[in-house]
Homo-oligomer: A and B are copies of this chain.
Amino acid sequence: MIHVPSLILDVDKCKKNIRDMALKAKEHKVTFRPHFKTHQSLEIGRWFKEHGVNKITVSSLEMAEYFLPEWKDITVAFPTNILEIERINRLAEKIQLNLLIESAETAKFLIENLTNPVGFFIKIDAGYHRTGVQPKDGNIIDDILKISEVSAKLIFKGFLSHSGHTYKCQNKADVLDIHQRCMNTLVELKEKYKNEYSNLILSLGDTPSCSIAEDFEGIDEIRPGNFVFYDLMQNKIGSNAIDHIAVALACPIVAIHDDRNEIVVYGGGVHFSKERLENEKEGTIYGRIVEKNENSWGDLIPDTVIKSLSQEHGIISVSDDQIKNYSIGDYILALPIHSCMTANLMKRYKTTDGKDILMMNSW
């Protein structure tokens, strides 16, 4: 029974998303190192093991610590935070920990302060311009490698990139264009350094590229995360169909304003997050409502969107002929704009097969 806003997880859809990506990785002979920042759950993590996955990606050292009991090879895909050196040393004592480095300063700090060996990737900025070394700055790469060579505790693994700018694409062609440039950048680097580092790995992995592209020539590892649930933002980019989206937020209806075709639900910015999509038709939206069926959900209900969110309130715009279908004490199901942010706020799942699944930092 739904009493309060609840994040419903369709287990079949989620497991299918995992299986499909695992198969794609096998087909393209790339290592599948999924990013677990989307689901943040030990239990969902186990569903990957059925597909032979034994290496994962996380976005913080805290998250690495959470997954440590069940995962022994973890890449923290975030520029190394040297202020957490104690945590790094604690983790590196127990697992194969891989860090991201993009400056000589960080490399120097690590060789002086590491107590156990860690792997590291040099983060490459292949066009997103958020973090990473630009490929033209070969001297920074060389500096980092030179520093690492004097220490047995800092082991070069390869080059890693994240094309986060695919999230701003409006179509598949643009995603493929970014993906191709990213691959070219990484493959060129491998060419340059492979004689010296024969085992170096090329790692990439945004969900749009991994979902849409069919060419991973020269790439060794992919790290998509969001695909485990997908969402409306990914659907708009072209990564997934609506029926691949594996999470929906159940929100109790608390008021109906039929004079303006709006319903008010218990479900606001502290549940969905304030992520939004801009659409030509509807303007800014914060989610879309789907049809409920016995245990899960079906198609989008046309012209039924979350048009605004306050802290706990969601305002849903409903079409004139549909408003009569809603009543106080019922609940709606809404697909989120950005499932990573919604899951992070909700901190637990209710599965379509009736179980509760906890996440990191569930209370």
| Residues of chain A having any CB pair with chain B under 8 Å | 1-4, 37, 59-60, 62, 78-84, 87, 102-103, 105-106, 109, 129-131, 134, 164, 252, 254-257, 259-260, 264, 266, 269-270, 273-275, 308, 310-313, 315, 327-329, 331, 340-341, 344-345, 347, 361-363
Q: How many copies altogether?
A: 2
Is A131's CB under 8 angstroms from B84's CB? no
Chain B min CB distance to A124 (Å): 13
Query: What is the distance, in angstroms, from A312's C-beta to the closest C-beta of chain B?
Result: 5
Q: Roughly how many angstroms separate A81 CA and B347 CA in the complex, as a whole number?
A: 21
In the A-B complex, the 3 residue pairs with the closest CB atoms? A79-B254, A361-B363, A274-B274
- CB of A312 within 8 A of CB of B254, answer no
* B82 pairs with A328, CB closer than 8 A: yes
A270 and B78 within 8 A (CB): no
Q: How far is the CB of A161 from chain B (nearest CB, A)?
A: 15
| Pairwise interchain contact A266-B81, C-beta atoms closer than 8 A | yes
B274 touches A83 (CB 8 A): no
**Please, how many angstroms separate the alpha-carbon atoms of A2 and B33 in the complex?**
31
Contact A83–B311 (Cβ < 8 Å): no
Give me 7 other A-B pairs in contact (C-beta within 8 A), A105-B328, A274-B275 excluded: A37-B312, A82-B328, A83-B331, A130-B313, A131-B313, A270-B341, A361-B363
> Is A103's CB under 8 angstroms from B363's CB?
no
| B341 and A260 within 8 A (CB) | no
Does A311 lie within 8 Å of B363, measured CB to CB? no
| A260 near B81: Cβ-Cβ < 8 Å | no
- Please, which residue of chain B has its CB at the minimum distance from the CB of A35? B311
Q: Which of B131, B264, B273, B362 contacts A274 (CB 8 A)?
A: B273
Taking a contact as CB atoms under 8 Å apart, the answer to whether B82 and A341 are in contact is: no
Assess whether A311 is in contact with B255, with CB atoms less than 8 Å apart.
no
How many angstroms between the C-alpha atoms of A172 and B249 in the bound complex?
37
- Chain B residues within an 8 Å CB radius of A362: 363
Question: What is the distance, in angstroms, from A131's C-beta to the closest C-beta of chain B?
Answer: 5
